[in-house]
Amino acid sequence: MREKLPELTAVYHSILPLVSLVTLTDTVVSPYPVSDINIKAYPPGGGTLGLHYDTNGITVLLFLTTNSEAPLRMQVQRSHPSKKDSWVENRKIYAKKGALLIMQGRKVLHDSEPTVNEQKLSVVYNYYERHDTYRHEDFDNFVYYGRPPKTLGDNARGEDRP
Ligand SMILES: [Fe+2]
């Protein structure tokens, strides 16, 4: 992928200051080269991704297709000092070719509604905060090489993956 599409790596590094500004974090690129950039393909007829939090702190999606179905669904935790209780804001984001979506994926529960007739393609850029680049040691071995985890903690989480 890197040899055929060097632009994807260039974008990954060049938007880092923007991602840092928008998220108000000290954003860093992934220290895990196997999982820094993915392309996620959702085929027509049920391509989906289950409800999950991301393992990495910040995920940026670069949409490669415009879709009228299969939105990213997000459950955003909200609170305000004027309100007694917190609440959950449900958002549906439809892919628009060329658009960037910046998400703090550890804080927002999300999934992708299944496709029906369309194909959906997204580039997934994984970032971390400088002070917290935690990633479970078995995660990439399991996701990318199918090696069974030696240990899997109770807080194991999913993540966008190819
Ligand atoms: Fe995700």
Q: Where are the domains of the chain?
A: 6-79+86-145
Beta bridge partners of 112: 49, 72
Using 50, 70 and 90 to split pLDDT, how confident is the model at 71? very high
From ligand 1's centre to the CA of 117, what distance in Å? 22
- Reply yes or no on whether the pLDDT at 38 is more than 60: yes
From ligand 1's centre to the CA of 150, what distance in Å? 23
From ligand 1's centre to the CA of 3, what distance in Å? 25
Q: What share of the chain is helix, strand, coil (3-state, %, to 5)?
A: 15, 30, 50
From ligand 1's centre to the CA of 24, what distance in Å? 20
Output the pTM of the full model.
0.86
- Rounded to an integer, the average pLDDT of 82-104 is 97
The pLDDT score that the predictor gives to residue 134 is: 87
From ligand 1's centre to the CA of 82, what distance in Å? 31
From ligand 1's centre to the CA of 119, what distance in Å? 18
From ligand 1's centre to the CA of 5, what distance in Å? 22
Quick one: which of 115, 5, 23, 7 has its CA closest to 60?
A: 23
From ligand 1's centre to the CA of 135, what distance in Å? 14
Using 50, 70 and 90 to split pLDDT, how confident is the model at 149? confident
From ligand 1's centre to the CA of 104, what distance in Å? 9
Lowest mean pLDDT among 57-71, 105-119, 144-158: 144-158
- CATH of span 6-79+86-145: 2.60.120.620
